């Protein structure tokens, strides 16, 4: 029961990136998104990934493969948007 | 060493909300932020919090008190911004 709650919590906090990815890919508008947030988020998920590999912790590894892909997509659109603004 | 990596990862992924909170409080512009993301994020941190309390897990509790406050601030500004747009 408690494990199910933890898995549900992990599903929500990791899956939270999905609606943002969908919105950002559709609008390609990233002015209100914080570059610092997605830099930290992406670096953080890579650290979690390494932590998961070192501990051979499958839930941590799988959640953070997903989260690092999603946050890198948002980061990519944010950087592209900032470059466009500069030109 | 591995624990330090985990703590650093937790610091990054939880702290990632800080630059977004600062940016959103300053600009009050939330058009590019996904409502779904912050609804899921806020609900998810509340579930983590309950999970932490049930397991008496202090790191999980403290990280998610912080994360739930940050995500509720962003959610507040997003909802206020959407209401303004409707009026």
| pLDDT per position as a tens digit, A19-78 | 999 999 999 999 999 999 999 999 999 999 999 999 888 888 888 999 999 999 999 999
What sign for the dihedral angle of Cα A15, A21, A22, A24?
positive
Highest mean pLDDT (candidates B4-13, B36-45, B48-57): B36-45
Q: What are phi and psi of B37, to 5 degrees?
A: -60, -45
Q: To probe the interface with B, which of A4, A28, A40 has the most B CB atoms within 10 Å?
A: A40
Is the CB of B32 less than 8 angstroms away from the CB of A34?
A: no
Task: Determine how many CB atoms are found less than 10 A away from the CB of residue B65.
Answer: 14
The verdict on a CB contact (< 8 Å) between A19 and B35 is yes
Give A11→chain B minimum CA distance, Å. Answer: 8
- To the question of domain B2-86 being in CATH 1.10.3720.10, the answer is no
């Amino acid at each position: 029961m408690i494990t199910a709650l933890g898995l549900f919590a992990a599903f929500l906090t990791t899956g939270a990136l999905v609606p943002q990815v969908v919105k950002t890919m559709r609008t390609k508008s990233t002015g209100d998104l914080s570059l610092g947030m997605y830099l930290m988020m992406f670096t953080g998920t890579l650290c979690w990934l390494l932590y998961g590999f070192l501990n051979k912790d499958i839930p941590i590894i799988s959640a953070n493969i997903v989260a690092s892909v999603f946050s890198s997509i948002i980061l990519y659109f944010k950087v592209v948007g900032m470059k466009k603004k500069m030109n």
